[in-house]
Structure 1
Amino acid sequence: MRKFISGLLLFLYPFLSPAQRIDNLVSFRNISGDKYVRLHYDNDFWGKSDYYYTQGYNLEVVQPAFKNNPLSHTLLKLKNSRVKYGIALEHYGFTPTIIASSSILFNDRPYAGVIMLKSFSISVDTIHRTRLSSVISTGMIGPVAFAGPMQKKIHTWTGDAEPMGWQFQIKNDAAINYEVNFEKQLFNIPNIISLNTNSQIRLGTLSDKIQAGATLTLGKFDSPFAATEKETKQNFQLYLYVQPLINFVGYDATMQGGIFNRDSPYTIKSSQINRLVYQNSLGAVVNFRNIYLEFNHVFLSKEFKEGKTHQWGGLRIGVAF
């Protein structure tokens, strides 16, 4: 399996974007047990901005019964591994730098909304300290994702400026993606420090990219590669993490428009897309018994030539059963 993934990454490198922003499948976000619910919310308010990736949320449910989901049979898994199955609903929106403008802002990011339903599996090889997660996502980009009305309503509640340009957003189109993530633990000193490598490949109509990086975890934490997971009543973890990543960008429908519907009023040209994008995440996690809490901050370098760097924050709350 590892040889297959490495070969696939090398083969696709010349052809291959960070459209999907929320990643709940990495090992430092592990929740003990095979039954849990977790809600994640991002907002660039925590990055002191109101442009580009402006907000997103993800509601995930992990439950053994999802093994019988027909889409689960399409998901790659490691041999002789511990496997979890889940589904998630994800929604997010993007805006240009000046939301008060009622005209198209050329050389800026277009408005875009996305809604996706995901089926995923997480498999862990506790002997070789590896973790493979795979995801199939189906949904829509465009007005049907209702990102515009949602942002307008939130700004009404908060008293912020009304976004005036959602009529120029990316048009409705199908969003279908398949994603594989692979992690390998390099070293681990229990309850002190851990270092993992991260790699990802994503293909589909919404986002094509290859990603590579590492994760450093510091604090009191249980290894997600342990042979057995602790019972929740014995669980207490408190740790920090940093995750630098490099994205090799192929296609991003939230900037370039849908694959099938090419009638969007404004998109960014392929020649203006930055093919190499740096991303860094910092965060803190508290996991007490069956409760999971996390806050993180993300930095992203310029995604297109005339663009800006961007920052946002995220909050996660989970409950295990």
Structure 2
Amino acid sequence: MKQYRWLLLVWGVLCFAQKPAQIGIVSDNDLYTSPYNDQYYTNGLEFYYRYLGNPETTRALKTITEFRIGQYIYNPQSVKAADINVHDRPFAGYLFAEARISKFYANSHVLKFKFQGGVVGPESGAQQFQEGLHKLVGYYTVEGWQYQITTTPAAQAAVFYSRRISPSPYMHRFEYNWDVHLQAEVNVGTIWNTASIGPMARISLKGPLQDMHHSMLHGAELEADASEYKNRGELFLYANPSLQYMAFDATIQGSMFNNTSPVTFPLLHWRFNAEAGIKYRKNHWAYSYSFNYRGKEAINNVISGFFYGSIQVGYIL
């Protein structure tokens, strides 16, 4: 009986592995925008694996399932913060695993469901990672992690929706090279409770834009027919300003389950955020860079809005 179980397991893994799939890495860092930036959301690292689902029998043209693991690191205005009075934002680390499902519909509609589980606090390993990285590259010593947000279990669920609001690209020839979409997201859980909305515009730098169920913008570049990768490439700019309402942020306010964090701040609920970048895809490779702005997050006399850069590299297996 055990032998049959192993055979079933191996068969399942082989079937799973035969699906069109992609692996990739996302690296966020404030130093990607300026060598003088090193504050607030200071580093993020994610690894992902996504695969194409079976042909849809519903209205969706394509379904992609994705798994991620990642870590986010947050600092006050300076990592030289041994003095608690220097803090204008708490030190915090977030370690998580994520599963998401993305559905792509006709007329460039996109619907995503995302679920995360993890931890904020010393168990995230953020202190060890940042201190080790600074030591490795000869950067200055990090001080102040003893005041970080204390242990908080993380359970998050999010829904994202996007739809094209510009006319169909097939109505007028000149509209092949640009489009505008309206995007909205709601994120609820023990770490963040947020809602955001804003437009997203794409401008092609080479050839016509791909429809959303073929575009890398939302991770839809996987195809059932591998020959499609040779015939389909992308190079485009995009911009996405948004208005966000943040009801709760454990990395600033501390855990909703206790009040043991030594440094916390009241939240500034309304924020303006923006993202602009460039994406390029050719054959099996996909690359992107984005410049990100986040509005002021907490209420005090020191903290301000901040910038960071994001680099992503993906490879279709």
TM-score (norm 2): 0.81
Distance 1:184 1:34, change over 3 A: farther
Equivalent of 1:286 in 276, 280, 285: 280
Distance 1:34 1:207, change over 3 A: farther
Structure 1 gaps, min length 5: 1-32, 68-76
Segments of 4+ moved more than 2 angstroms = 187-191, 225-230
Equivalent of 1:232 in 229, 235, 244: 229
Aligned residue number for residue 265 of structure 1:
262
**CA distance in 1 between partners of 2:94 and 2:213 (Å):** 33
Structure scoring higher RCO (CA < 8 A, sep ≥ 6) equals 1
Task: Encode CA deviations 1:67-125: one digit per residue, 9 max, x unaligned.
Answer: 9xxxxxxxxx9952121111111211000112112121366100000011001000111
The amino acid across from 2:42 in the alignment is T
Aligned residue number for residue 212 of structure 1:
197
Aligned residue number for residue 244 of structure 2:
247
RMSD: 2.3
Distance 1:64 1:218, change over 3 A: closer
Aligned residue number for residue 47 of structure 1:
33
Paired residue total: 275
Aligned residue number for residue 3 of structure 2:
none
Kept after mapping to 1: 8 A contact 2:108/2:211? no
Distance 1:226 1:39, change over 3 A: closer
**CA distance in 2 between partners of 1:250 and 1:201 (Å):** 11
Match of 1:238, SS state, is strand
Task: Encode CA deviations 1:116-143: one digit per residue, 9 max, x unaligned.
Answer: 10010001111x4311001010000001
Percentage identity across paired residues of the two chains: 21
**CA distance in 1 between partners of 2:186 and 2:57 (Å):** 16
Match of 1:254, SS state, is helix
Task: Encode CA deviations 1:263-295: one digit per residue, 9 max, x unaligned.
Answer: 1111113xxx11111111110111001100001
Residue 64 of structure 1, CA deviation: 4.7
Equivalent of 2:311 in 310, 315, 318: 315
Aligned residue number for residue 89 of structure 1:
69
Distance 1:234 1:64, change over 3 A: closer
Q: Which has the larger radius of gyration?
A: 2
Equivalent of 2:93 in 88, 110, 113: 113
Which 10-residue stretch deviates more, 248-257 or 189-198? 189-198
Equivalent of 1:61 in 49, 72, 83: 49
Aligned pairs (5 A) from 1:28-47: 34-47=20-33
Aligned pairs (5 A) from 1:168-187: 168-187=147-166
Residue 191 of structure 1, CA deviation: 4.5
Kept after mapping to 2: 8 A contact 1:78/1:125? no
Distance 1:193 1:59, change over 3 A: same
Match of 2:146, SS state, is helix
TM-score (norm 1): 0.80
Alignment of 1:202 with 2:202, yes or no, is: no
Aligned residue number for residue 116 of structure 2:
137
Kept after mapping to 1: 8 A contact 2:236/2:280? yes
Aligned residue number for residue 15 of structure 1:
none
Equivalent of 1:305 in 290, 299, 305: 299
The amino acid across from 1:293 in the alignment is Y
